[in-house]
Structures are given as structure tokens and as C-alpha cells.
């Protein structure tokens, strides 16, 4: 028993009031705490996504393009002139910019259109080492990335040779998914692709060959491609060495092959259509990087994905702000409730205050009793609210399908801080009533006429 007993006993006696106040504050705390947790997880997820977004700076040659759409249908880019970047020169120049250390990956690409089984498909020449870095989300469902050893398989070399397929003229109409490629000569196999002989059991495919192709999941399904299938490309042919698991990106619809191979096959050695540059990290000086790349290269167009990123971040921030202001309104309401109810309690409890003062309780003690009562409500609301908010966060994340992989850590220090802040808040709210209580003279409370 000490001075706090007085405050707590009164709070217990007026339990309806206490409970009500507790409820309001707990609600406020729950919403703030869960908001914090959820927005942190969402933010982290977003950041992760942004990083796995891969490139955020796109360097392409300036083209005289006119994007035409009519009646809601994109008719494709009307190309007047196809220009290429010189791969070596471009990479070297980008490599030399001042902010090179902020760039994690430089990935050149050459896109060619071809027709497989009567379907237009894009074949993208890439540098697989860079591409893998750029696309951390890649998951090879079958086989392996060209040039790599398939997981848990032993490699043997040269176990098959694709039968010669009729050479297909190179389709150089890069960047033009809707352009109609030249028809594949009927002499080719009726499906437009030749079947490679089945690899003997236990004898894996040769993925070290330069002509390996990694097939996107949708492309593989639509074109009915299997490991070991061969496809014509320009003067050469490619062998399917791997099939990607669905990525949810454009990679699902394309075929990816080694850049050098594609360059050779389509007769554009050393050329690239565009270069993706990854400098996506929070706080990267994207603007400066763009400026420096622009200065290093002539006749290129540089686009950034920063706007998209910023927009997403902005909407997260907006929701966060919205909920935060609602929570603040709840807390403010709670604070005024505490203030008002304490104020009326001071009048009700004049006699008690008189007794305490007549027993030598100082003004400070009386002040403390009223503050302690309010603070105990805040403290409890903080504790309950934090724990409940922690639980609620999991529910919300589960609903948002973000529960797994979320790293919510229950931090006792934050719990303590929340409880303390709430205690402080409710104490502040009861400052005026407590001050009024302290100002009461014992005589006015006790002397009966």
C-alpha cells in the first residue's frame, strides 16, 4: 500500500469509467501499433520487390518512333528506323561513370521477334550472369540456365545434336511485338520446330553450349516446349535447356538465349537494343546516375522506373498517414474523455481531497494521485494495445497474404516505450484536472455549514 493504492482503488471502484477509457485508448494503441507493424512489413516487401524489380534505368537508342493506337487497340510502334547500341562501347561508357559504385548490374539485351508454331515470340539475347543478378526471383522449373549445371545433375558433354532445321530468316524487328514477322518457310517442320532426339535416360542435356535457350513458363506452355527441343533462329538453332517457373513478369512470355549467340544468329554482332541498369536501392541518387549516363552516351534515351516506385511508395505513405490520423483522432478523443471525466471527478472528490490534505498530503501528492490514476489507464492501454496490435498485425498480414516471410519481431523495448508514451499522454490529459485538485483547500472541502 502506498499513494498509488489510492489512485488504483478509485479506478477500480469506478470500473465502468475506467474500462471505457481503457477501451478507447487500447483501440487507439492497437490501430497505431498494427499500422506500424503492417506498414513496415508492406514497406519492406515493397523494397524487396523494388530490388527484385531488377533494372530501374533503361538505356535505349533514340528512335523515331510513333506509337499508334486506334480504338483502344495498340497497333504497335511504327518504326521508321531501327537503331542499335554498340554493346561494348555502351557498357564501357556506363562502366566509367562517377557513380558506378551505385550500379549493381548492367545488362545489355537484344530482342528479336520470331514465329514459332505460327505464334509470334520474342527471343531475348541476354548475358545470363548479369540477368540472374537482375532477376533474383528467377526460379528454373526444369533443366538449367544455359551455361549452368542443372541442379543435382551430372553433366556430360555433347550427347546430342539437333537435326538441321531449315534456316529461318532472322527477324530483326526488335521491340515490335505486333509486327508481323516474315512467314517461316513451309519447308520447316509443320510445327515450326524440330524435335531433338530424346536424350537418353541419365544423360542430361548440354547446357554449356552457346545455343541454349531458357523458356518462359507461358511460352513453354503455349508452344508446348520441352527440354531438349530445338528451335531455329536465324542461321542457327537453339536448344531448350531450361524452363522458368512462372515469374509474373514479361519473362514468362519470352525465350532467353545468350546474347552473343543471338547477335551472331541474327547477324548483328556486338549490337544491343537496350541496356538495363540496376541502381535500385533506397536513397540511390538515381537522378545523378541518369545525368551521368546521359553525359557518357550520345543518342540514347534514358528512362527510369523511379516514378512508378515513387507512386507506390506514395500510396503506402498515404494510407499510413490516413490511418495514423484516424488513430490520433481516437487517442485525442480518449485524451479529452480522460480530461473531462477527471475534471468532473475532481468536483465529486472534493471531500476526499480535503481528507488527504488534512492528513498532510501535499498538493504534489494530490496532483500525483490524479495523474497516477490517468497514467495507470494509459499504461495498461499501452501494454494491452501493443500486444493486441501485434496479434492484429498478423491477422491483417494474413488477409493481405503477406504473413509468411514477414519478420515481425516482438520487442519488449517497444512495448515498454508504448506503455510509457501512453501513460505520459493520459497524464498530460489529466494535467488540468489534477492541477485543479491540487489547488483545492482542505477547508472548502471539509467544513460543513
Partner 1 sequence: MNHDASTRPDAAAGQTPIVDAPSLDAPSLEAPILEAVNVTKSFTQDGTPTQALKGVSLAVAPGEFVSIVGRSGSGKSTFLSVLSTLLKPDSGELTYNGLDLARASEADIDGLRHGDFAVIFQFHYLLPYLTALENTLLPFMRGLRPVSGAQRRRGLECLERVGLADKGHRLPGQLSGGEQQRVAIARALVKDARILFADEPTGSLDSATGATVMELLGQIHKDGMSVVMVTHNEQYAGLSDRVVRMADGLMV
Ligand X SMILES: Nc1ncnc2c1ncn2[C@@H]1O[C@H](COP(=O)(O)OP(=O)(O)O)[C@@H](O)[C@H]1O
The binding site for partner 1 (CB under 8 A) comprises 1-6, 9-10, 12-13, 351-352, 354-363, 365, 441-443, 446-449
Comparison of 178 and 362: residue with beta carbon closer to partner 1: 362
Q: How far is the CB of 11 from partner 1 (least distance, A)?
A: 9
Query: Taking CB under 6 A as the rule, does residue 413 contact ligand X?
Result: no
Parallel, antiparallel or unpaired: strands 65-70 and 85-86:
unpaired
User: Residue 26 in 3-state DSSP?
Assistant: helix
Q: Select from ligand X, partner 1, none the partner in contact with residue 13, using the beta carbon and a kind-dependent cut-off of 5 to 8 Å.
A: partner 1
User: Residue 256 in 3-state DSSP?
Assistant: strand
The DSSP code sequence of 390-444 is: HHHHHHHHHHTT--TT------HHHHHHHHHHHHHHHHHHTHHHHHHHHH--HHH
Query: Taking CB under 6 A as the rule, does residue 447 contact ligand X?
Result: yes
Query: Taking CB under 6 A as the rule, does residue 1 contact ligand X?
Result: no
Query: Taking CB under 6 A as the rule, does residue 446 contact ligand X?
Result: no
Query: Taking CB under 6 A as the rule, does residue 201 contact ligand X?
Result: no
Q: How far is the CB of 354 from partner 1 (least distance, A)?
A: 7
What long-range pairs does 434-439 form, CB within 8 A, spacing at least 24? 434/342, 434/366, 434/367, 434/368, 434/370, 434/371, 434/374, 435/367, 436/343, 436/346, 437/346, 437/349, 437/353, 437/366, 437/367, 437/369, 437/370, 438/363, 438/364, 438/366, 438/367, 438/370, 439/363
Query: Taking CB under 6 A as the rule, does residue 351 contact ligand X?
Result: no
Q: Select from partner 1, ligand X, none the partner in contact with residue 151, using the beta carbon and a kind-dependent cut-off of 5 to 8 Å.
A: none
Comparison of 125 and 354: residue with beta carbon closer to ligand X: 354
CA dist 18 and 206 (Å) reads 75
Q: Select from partner 1, ligand X, none the partner in contact with residue 5, using the beta carbon and a kind-dependent cut-off of 5 to 8 Å.
A: partner 1
Q: How far is the CB of 442 from partner 1 (least distance, A)?
A: 4
- Burial of 427 (C-beta count, 10 Å sphere; 0-12/13-18/19+): buried
Q: How far is the CB of 431 from partner 1 (least distance, A)?
A: 20
Q: Select from ligand X, partner 1, none the partner in contact with residue 407, using the beta carbon and a kind-dependent cut-off of 5 to 8 Å.
A: none
All three cell numbers of 232: 531455329
Q: Select from partner 1, ligand X, none the partner in contact with residue 365, using the beta carbon and a kind-dependent cut-off of 5 to 8 Å.
A: partner 1
Q: How far is the CB of 436 from partner 1 (least distance, A)?
A: 17
Query: Taking CB under 6 A as the rule, does residue 442 contact ligand X?
Result: no
Q: How far is the CB of 421 from ligand X (least distance, A)?
A: 42
Q: Which residue has the cell 500510396?
A: 315
Report which DSSP code applies to 102: G
Residues that bind ligand X (CB under 6 A): 447, 449
Amino acid at each position: 500500500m502506498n499513494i498509488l493504492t489510492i489512485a488504483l482503488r478509485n479506478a477500480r471502484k469506478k470500473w465502468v469509467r475506467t474500462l471505457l477509457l481503457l477501451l478507447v485508448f487500447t483501440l487507439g494503441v492497437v490501430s497505431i501499433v498494427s499500422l506500424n507493424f503492417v506498414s513496415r512489413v508492406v514497406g519492406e516487401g515493397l523494397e524487396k520487390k523494388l530490388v527484385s524489380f531488377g533494372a530501374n534505368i533503361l538505356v535505349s537508342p533514340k528512335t523515331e518512333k510513333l506509337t499508334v493506337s486506334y480504338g483502344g487497340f495498340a497497333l504497335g510502334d511504327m518504326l521508321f528506323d531501327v537503331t542499335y547500341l554498340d554493346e561494348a562501347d555502351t557498357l564501357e561508357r556506363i562502366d566509367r561513370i562517377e557513380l558506378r559504385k551505385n550500379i549493381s548490374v548492367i545488362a545489355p539485351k537484344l530482342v528479336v521477334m520470331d514465329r514459332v508454331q505460327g505464334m509470334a515470340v520474342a527471343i531475348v539475347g541476354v548475358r545470363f550472369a548479369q540477368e540472374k543478378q537482375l532477376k533474383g526471383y528467377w526460379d528454373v522449373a526444369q533443366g538449367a540456365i544455359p551455361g549452368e549445371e542443372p541442379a543435382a545433375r551430372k553433366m556430360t558433354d555433347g550427347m546430342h545434336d539437333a537435326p538441321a532445321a531449315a534456316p529461318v530468316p532472322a527477324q530483326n524487328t526488335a521491340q515490335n511485338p505486333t509486327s508481323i514477322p516474315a512467314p517461316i518457310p513451309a519447308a520447316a517442320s509443320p510445327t515450326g520446330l524440330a524435335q531433338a532426339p530424346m536424350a537418353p535416360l541419365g544423360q542430361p542435356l548440354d547446357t554449356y553450349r552457346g545455343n541454349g535457350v531458357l523458356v518462359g513458363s507461358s511460352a513453354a506452355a503455349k508452344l508446348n516446349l520441352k527440354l531438349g527441343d530445338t528451335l531455329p533462329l536465324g542461321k542457327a538453332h537453339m536448344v531448350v535447356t531450361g524452363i522458368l517457373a512462372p515469374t509474373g513478369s514479361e519473362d514468362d512470355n519470352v525465350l532467353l538465349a545468350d546474347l552473343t549467340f543471338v547477335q551472331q544468329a541474327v547477324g548483328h554482332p556486338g549490337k544491343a537494343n537496350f541496356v538495363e541498369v540496376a541502381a535500385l536501392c533506397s536513397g540511390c541518387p538515381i537522378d545523378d546516375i541518369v545525368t551521368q549516363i546521359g553525359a557518357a552516351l550520345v543518342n540514347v534515351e534514358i528512362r527510369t522506373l523511379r516514378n512508378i516506385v515513387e507512386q507506390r511508395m506514395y500510396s503506402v505513405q498515404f494510407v499510413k498517414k490516413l490511418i495514423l490520423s484516424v488513430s490520433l483522432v481516437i487517442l485525442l478523443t480518449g485524451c479529452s474523455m480522460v480530461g473531462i471525466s477527471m475534471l468532473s471527478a475532481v468536483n465529486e472528490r472534493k471531500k476526499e481531497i480535503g481528507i488527504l490534505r488534512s492528513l498532510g498530503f501535499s498538493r504534489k501528492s494530490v496532483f500525483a494521485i490524479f495523474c497516477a490514476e490517468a497514467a495507470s489507464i494509459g499504461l495498461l492501454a499501452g501494454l494491452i494495445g501493443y500486444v493486441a496490435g501485434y496479434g492484429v498485425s498478423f491477422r491483417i498480414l494474413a488477409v493481405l497474404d503477406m504473413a509468411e516471410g514477414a519478420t515481425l519481431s516482438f520487442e519488449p523495448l517497444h512495448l515498454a516505450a508504448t506503455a510509457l508514451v501512453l501513460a505520459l499522454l493520459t497524464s498530460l490529459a489529466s494535467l488540468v484536472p489534477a492541477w485543479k485538485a491540487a489547488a483545492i483547500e482542505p477547508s472548502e472541502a471539509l467544513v460543513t455549514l
